[in-house]
Chains A and B, each alone.
Chain A
Amino acid sequence: MATKHINIAFIGMGKKSIATFDFFIRKHAEKLCRQVNIKQAEAFIVDYDSSNGQQQWQQTDPEKKIPVILISSQQPEESGWLWVPKPVKGSDLKHAIQDLVRIRDNKQPTHHHALARSQKTGGRAEKPSPQPQDVATDIGKIKTGYNRSFDEEACAGLNLSRDEIVECCGKLDDVDIHDHDQRQSIFHNDKKTLVAPIQAGLRLAKRENKDVEIDLLKTRIILLAGGERIQADLNNRVIRHICAIPLPRRLDTTLIEPPTIEQCHVHKAETVLWQVALWTARGRLPNTLEPEKAVRLMRWPNFTRLQITPHALRIAAAWTQKAMSPLQIAEALEIPQRYVFSVASAADALGLFTDKNSNQHNSYGSWKNSRNLFSSILRSLRNAA
């Protein structure tokens, strides 16, 4: 195309927007147009949504003789102008500018006066707009295979020391599930732990909309009315301590009248329950979960406010995409079973499992081989943490 470029001015836009448009022009439409000031302009690009866009356009060109591209979220009522819908697509804008040039040169615009976003380029043969070459676009191209201990990496960047990880997730080696004794070793009985009374207490606090107390001798735990929050002096150490000791009996939950407790911390119920479940399980499964049964996470746990254990995010990612058994997860991710059992116990305590499969388009087969890149990003994130 040996056409002369068209001089364009922007109307009704702030500095930031103009800079972005100018960047686009330089990068993708350099041969087509230049940005100039309003007086020198042969055409305008008007932000039709901005309050002063329409006004300024009217003042600058009251007779509306100069060709314009209107940019707006809704198609403008005024017809006869080139229109590009928001959010602006680069290709739409480029087509509209090409049409401005054709209008200036007294040719018929080829892209019609309203450019629907879905509309593809018309009959005219046209090269696709150049694409940034500096960014690797295909993560599938990244080399596969990795040869460093992922376990080492998984423990880095957590707010748990190595000892605490062992304390939290246990030391249990992977078991042969067909061996009866080994199979038994992976379970704990959740009825004798703090998990069940907290769950029951939260249900009660929600149903009755009243505070509920769990009688734990030295530590008072108040489940606040509504069942969303827990008031107690429960730091991690206390929780670990309580969970490590087998409870002598089933704990009672009692409705109480507020206010009964001196100032102490209020925690999210979810955070406490997750924590208690982790430290109770210590890398085992509650006997209500079967290691061979496929289940799926209905929702991602709120990991920014929950204790993250080794591989927890990978486990959640796999488990939200597809129904799999705890053993299958460990196998698919090539990680120790105890880490899967830990997350399973905590997620189960929060009621996050379903046995229905997902209808999401994301599936196992489409996971891209980008492990090297991702591990490298994770190391950077964690080293700097």
Chain B
Amino acid sequence: MSPTAIFRKYELQNYIVYLGFIAIFLFFAVTLHDAGFTSTRNLTNIILQTAPATIMAIGLVFALSAGEIDLSFGSAVAVSALSAAVVMQILPMPLAILAGLGAGLAIGAFNGILVAWLRLPSFLVTLATLGLFAGVARTMTDLRSIPVTNSAFTGFFGSGELLGIPSLVWWTIIGVAVGHVVYRHTRFGAHVLATGDNARAAQVSGIKVPRVRFLVLTICGGCAGLAGLLYAGRLQAAKYTLGESDLMIVIAAVIVGGTALNGGKGSIIGALIGSLLMGMLNNGLILMGLQVSDQMIVRGLIILIAVAASLRDTSR
């Protein structure tokens, strides 16, 4: 067996993310011990801060696995959070939740229709809708931030706890569990992978390829909607800037987590670890006292290395 075959057989590329995770954790644990990196509070904080990115990453795993991409989720997050916040000011809270999720799903479905049935490339479609809905988010409230004061909402999506576990951790666990089961253990998940792997083979095997493409982009929108609610709940406000800077981090988390950029292969658990890794990186660099500009440079470089390492196998 050739080295690449062995590499593939034991799915070693999937372990790179775990090794990287442990290496970076140990590095920060040693160098930033006095700065409190390993304190329970700080570690919990990392998970809380990454919750929205993890949810977005789950959606992106589905899109990439089907051979599509979504670049617009950052804008969808802002539109969803603002929709929920605005509706909450005049209508009961459950309707605000529906408005937030509905906005995300609608944006995803809009992308999905253009990609699935008009056969436009998802890269271009979602690049365009990224800009389009960023504009929508800005005009919705004239750049103003909308406070979210409903304590039931902020508890449910932000600062609350159940059985001693913070609600944002619950959302992460539920999102990853549901995402993983759908991705690995349902016919839909199998059809997503087959579509991204070989769309023609999927088609001649009776898989409804356009429907799969539509659904993965709609799922991305739905995940962005949920991420928007989580941001609004945690920050107790919604603003057009929410989600704006998540694009690179979420894509990096997903790729580092073992999902192929060109479809047919991926991992929800990997995306979770990738997302936590990005959050840990962010947190460590801040604790190191780096300037924002330096943080951006270091983070960019580390993402580059991580992505290169995880793509080594698939770049053949």
Q: Is B one of A's binding partners?
A: no
